[in-house]
A = this chain, B = another copy of it.
Amino acid sequence: MTEWKNFDELASYKALGSAKKVNLKEVMAGESGAERVKKYSVPMAAGLNYNYAAKAVDADILTKLCDLAKEAGLSEKFEALYNGEVINTGEKRMVLHHLTRGQLGNDVIADGVNKREFYEEQVKRIADFANDVHAGKIVNEKGEKFTTVCQIGIGGSDLGPRAMYLALLNWAKKEGLFKMDANFISNVDPDDATAVLNSMDVSKTIFILVSKSGTTLETLTNEAFVKDALKKAGLDASKHMIAVTSETSPLAKNPDYLAAFYMDDYIGGRYSSTSAVGGAVLSLAFGPDVFARFLKGAAEEDKLAAKKDPMKNPDMLDALIGVYERNFLGFGSSAVLPYSQALSRFPAHLQQLDMESNGKSVNRFGEPVNYVTGPAIFGEPGTNGQHSFYQLLHQGTDIIPLQFVAYKNNQQGNDVEIQGSTSQKKLCANVAAQIVAFACGKHDENPNKNFNGCRPSSIIIGDQVNPESLGALLAHFENKVMFQGFVWNVNSFDQEGVQLGKVLAKRVLAHDTDGALAEYSKLLEI
């Protein structure tokens, strides 16, 4: 059985706390810096590379982090997870999102079925459906082809799929693989659904209703919104809607939907981009082959995550360095900075993935922990961020560790040369410059123009944002968050912290309030 211990009970916790801190500015200067950039690098899947030269670690700290990985049994815990142990102990569920894209261990049987086969079957069913839509075999009431797909979902049913769609949209157009526009309705704010519905021809739209339980308030409300719009347009909702849900939900096997594709309780919303939740919309938008390539990239990264040596496991190493920064260097937040416009909403997805998974104060046995856990995560694409919040990152009073992501090539191959360089080269030059500026700083007699340096970052470098590299990138962060949760001994797969708000909102709507809640309700004229 897997042994779960609090982080501060481990010998490596003490060892890391008393380890000599690295002066990043010093080690990144001159020849030493050049050596680090060459050496502190681990291959990821799909041609990506994780380079951590500009992190405040050295051979001593890396050794201690490797000791931590061993002592905390990170590999054994991952092994237990992918072999079907009940890792989501709070909700007493297995954690099977890796199985949606590959099989790392034994057959996992749940609910009487082989789960790998089950997920593969859903991908196959989605592929058949998408192919039929694209071929004009599934059409609207007038026999016209569907041109648009619209996902109705919130949180994990929205952020991941939306970020992945945006990441691949222009790539797919360039490659001639674009099939259908995708839109997304998520917020319960009626202005969201209204604006999205007004922006498209609903008569040629397939709506994907995504809710595991079939009971998410926002999603059901927005479904009603959409059905209302379809009805007003004289259309039959059941010919325009499909569901992605669990087999036991009221949305399953329901004649109100053209088709239903299944996920299950073993896949948390924020880990569902590689399940039917991402599969339906991505297969419809770009074709099943693109989704298959996305899964392949994720599966390859998972294989690396299963390596026992952290120095060869980019996901585990990234996790360990993040823990070191959080618990021993005291950094409270972290920024994700993709130098790619295609990844404009990737930080919003990571924000959920990380903060919802590891924003916990109790361990997996429900006991309060005595150390900090998940940081706050934010980010915007570079170079935009450089002209926005980078001022604070460079010269603010708090240090915020950074995660850069950059690609040698853009997606659309359209570029211009200005002042002797292309936009793509300028983009890459900026990210290289930023890493060094943050790490090394620059002395200036005028303190206002002085840069202290010692601000750590890592960078993931790839060839291009495409399905394989996107899958690998996504899996990298999923696995990183998982390993960090193992170290902190928290359950990264539940989200009890979102429940109280739901309960109180229901009370407000039922006018069953007193005290402050009643007064706020008055102010808002509810």
Hey, which chain B residues are within 8 Å of A516, CB to CB? 28-29, 33-34, 36-37, 53-54, 435-436, 439-440
In residues 348-407 of chain A, which contact B (Cβ within 8 Å)?
348, 351-352, 355-356, 358-362, 366-369, 371-378, 380-384, 386-398, 400, 406
> A504's contact among B332, B433, B495, B525, by CB below 8 Å, is which?
B433
Taking CB atoms, residues of chain B closer than 8 Å to A452 are 361
Q: Report chain B residues within 8 Å CB of A451.
A: 497, 500
B51→A447 contact, CB < 8 A: no
Q: Which of A95-103, A308-316, A419-427 contacts its partner?
A: A419-427
Partner of A395, one of B90, B359, B431: B359
The residue among A33, A217, A332, A356 with the most chain B CB atoms within 10 A of its own CB is A332
Bound CA–CA A500/B459 (angstroms): 19
Flag if B391 contacts A356 (CB, 8 Å). yes
Q: Give chain B nearest CB distance to A92 CB in angstroms.
A: 12
- Residue in contact with A396 in the complex, picked from B190, B355, B368, CB distance below 8 Å: B355
Known: A194-B170, A421-B509, A448-B90. A501 touches B390 (CB 8 A): yes
- Which of B380, B515, B524 is the one whose CB lies under 8 Å from A406? B524
Tell me if A264 is interfacial: C-beta within 8 Å of chain B: no
Q: How far is the CB of A306 from chain B (nearest CB, A)?
A: 26
B-side contacts of A388, CB under 8 Å = 155, 159, 348, 351-352, 355-356
Whether A410 is near chain B, meaning CB under 8 Å from some CB there, is yes
Q: Write the chain B residue with the least CB distance to A360.
A: B395
Say what secondary structure dominates the interface of chain A. helix
- A18 on the B face (CB < 8 A): no
A317 to chain B, nearest CB (A): 17
B195 touches A433 (CB 8 A): no
Query: Whole-angstrom distance between the alpha carbons of A441 and B504 in the complex?
Result: 11
- A106 touches B (CB below 8 Å): no
**Measured between alpha carbons, how far is A418 from B220 in the docked complex, in Å?**
8
Q: A225-B423, A495-B391 are in contact. Are A34 and B519 (CB under 8 A)?
A: yes
Report copies per complex: 2
Q: Indicate the size class of the contact surface on chain A.
A: 35 or more
Query: Are B221 and A416 neighbours in the complex by a CB distance under 8 Å?
Result: yes
Q: Do B524 and A426 touch across chains, with their CB atoms under 8 A apart?
A: no
Q: In the assembled complex, which residues on chain B have CB atoms less than 8 Å from the CB atom of A194? A: 170, 410, 412, 414
Known A-B contacts A34-B518, A191-B412, A516-B34; the reply to A359 vs B391 at CB < 8 A is: yes
Chain B positions within 8 Å of A362 at CB level:
395, 447-448, 450
Q: A524 touching B190 by the CB < 8 A rule?
A: no
Q: How far is the CB of A75 from chain B (nearest CB, A)?
A: 26
Q: Are B427 and A517 in contact (CB under 8 A)?
A: no
Whether A60 is near chain B, meaning CB under 8 Å from some CB there, is no
A374 to chain B, nearest CB (A): 6
Q: Tell which of A128-136, A200-208, A255-263, A333-341 binds the partner.
A: A333-341
- Contact pick for A154, options B90, B384, B434, CB 8 Å: B384
Cα distance A441–B496 in the bound complex, in angstroms: 13
- Is the C-beta of A289 less than 8 angstroms from some C-beta in chain B? no
28 pairs from A and B in contact (CB 8 Å cutoff): A30-B515, A31-B515, A33-B515, A33-B519, A34-B518, A54-B516, A90-B448, A158-B384, A187-B384, A188-B423, A189-B383, A218-B387, A224-B416, A351-B378, A352-B389, A355-B388, A359-B392, A366-B446, A374-B397, A395-B496, A395-B497, A408-B524, A425-B509, A429-B526, A430-B501, A430-B505, A431-B524, A437-B500
Q: Which 6 A/B pairs are nearest by Cβ-Cβ distance? A: A359-B392, A155-B387, A33-B516, A433-B504, A37-B519, A378-B378
